[in-house]
Amino acid sequence: MNKSKLLIIASFFSIYVIWGSTYLLNKIAVAEIPPLLLAAIRFGFAGILILIIALLLKKSLKVTKRQFLNLIIAAFLFLVYGNGVFVWALKYVDSGFAALLASTQPLFVLFLLRLIDGKKMQRKSIIGVCLGIFGMYLLVSQKEIATSEGMVIGIFMILSCVLSWSYGSVFVSKADLPKNFFVSTGYQMTIASILQVFFSQIFNENIPVISEISYKVQVSMAILIIFGSIVAFTAFNYLLKVISPEKVSTSAYVNPVIALLLGWYFLDEKLTTQSIIASIILLTGVYFITSRKRVAKNKIRPSQKT
């Protein structure tokens, strides 16, 4: 097995397992740190560290004006809105439930590719979409959710975050960005951190006293920065340049399994029978979408690979 294949396998492991654990870690951290400030700290440290790594690897940090603009757009779609608002919603939604909602990403990606590129849906895709929509209906139509105002708002905001992240995936796969994925990731995180500090001040988030932050939150932050941000997000950006967006989005049906197990074990989160049935139907739909045959003309152009 050559180095390229090993790197792809390691990258998929990162976005499958490591990202699956970030739901739990964010849920723990957001209990003591405001969401936008939490994201700003996480991505600020991670972005600077990644850019330092890029310099040590003797990679050029120069970017064109168009690349810088695209980096700002990607940073906003992925990290400012896609992640920052998602973490805010975890105040109202269980981490495992949130992961299930995030598993709808392949549906969003499929619709966006249909709208943007005019790609026709294959039979498996149509079946997957129908199962996904039905599973989503079962998931969010439960009485406990309908009677909880905070839960409804949280679900709505999470779905809007999934849309933002999905569009970001399609955008990055086509956009003119720095060829080196360390440079691209580092800039995106640094830009996102600056924007999140700005929005944090606009929304008057309270800055917690460091000495009052518990040890478990400090550990969660460290893991989020090193593994959730530096390792997994770099792997994500790399995969988007060498693998199709639909294949990268397969993490959407692995992450919920990891998140559900960790939420159950560490936070005593519980799932109703209807939620379990809905998750099986939903993830089956995601499987149908991501396992369909790909047509050669639908592949990403070689010039966009690194």
pLDDT in tens, 235-249: 887 888 888 776 787
Rounded Cα distance between 163 and 6, Å, is: 30
Dihedral sign computed on CA atoms, order 76, 19, 122, 161: negative
pLDDT for 101-148, tens place per residue?
Answer: 888 888 888 888 888 877 777 888 888 889 988 988 888 888 777 667
pLDDT for 207-216, tens place per residue?
Answer: 888 788 999 9
Q: What letter would DSSP give residue 103?
A: T
Mean pLDDT of the chain: 86
Question: Rounded to 5 degrees, what angle do the CA atoms 61, 62, 68 make?
Answer: 100
Q: Is residue 197 part of a domain?
A: yes
Q: Is residue 91 part of a domain?
A: yes
Q: At residue 179, what are phi and psi to the nearest 5 degrees?
A: -65, -35
pLDDT, position 216: 94
Q: Is residue 269 part of a domain?
A: yes
Tokens describing residue 46: 């991670």
pLDDT, position 298: 40
Rounded Cα distance between 56 and 50, Å, is: 10
CA nearest neighbour of 216 among 30, 17, 14, 16: 30
pLDDT, position 146: 60
pLDDT, position 68: 97
Q: Is 282 exposed, middle or buried (0-12, 13-18, 19+ CB in 10 A)?
A: buried
pLDDT for 37-92, tens place per residue?
Answer: 999 999 999 999 999 999 999 999 999 999 999 999 999 999 999 999 999 999 99
**Is 70 exceeded by the pLDDT of residue 19?**
yes
Q: Is residue 122 part of a domain?
A: yes
Q: Is residue 187 part of a domain?
A: yes
Q: Is residue 171 part of a domain?
A: yes
Q: Is residue 37 part of a domain?
A: yes
Q: Which carries the bigger pLDDT value, residue 293 or residue 271?
A: 271
Are the CB atoms for 186 and 51 separated by under 8 Å? yes
Count of domains forming the chain: 1
Task: Domain of residue 118: give its range.
Answer: 9-294
pLDDT, position 147: 62
pLDDT for 146-170, tens place per residue?
Answer: 667 788 899 999 999 999 999 998 8
Average pLDDT of span 267-286: 86
* b/e sequence 27-64, b meaning 16+ C-beta within 10 Å: bbbbebbbbbbbbbbbbbbbbebbbebbeeeebeeebe
**pTM for the predicted model, two decimal places:** 0.81
**Is 70 exceeded by the pLDDT of residue 297?**
no
Are the CB atoms for 208 and 217 separated by under 8 Å? no
Q: Is residue 306 part of a domain?
A: no
pLDDT, position 291: 72
Mean pLDDT is lowest, of 28-32, 38-42, 278-282, for 278-282
Rounded Cα distance between 177 and 199, Å, is: 25
Average pLDDT of span 196-221: 91
* Radius of gyration from C-alpha coordinates of the chain: 19
Q: To 10 degrees, the CA torsion angle through 39, 42, 47, 52?
A: 170
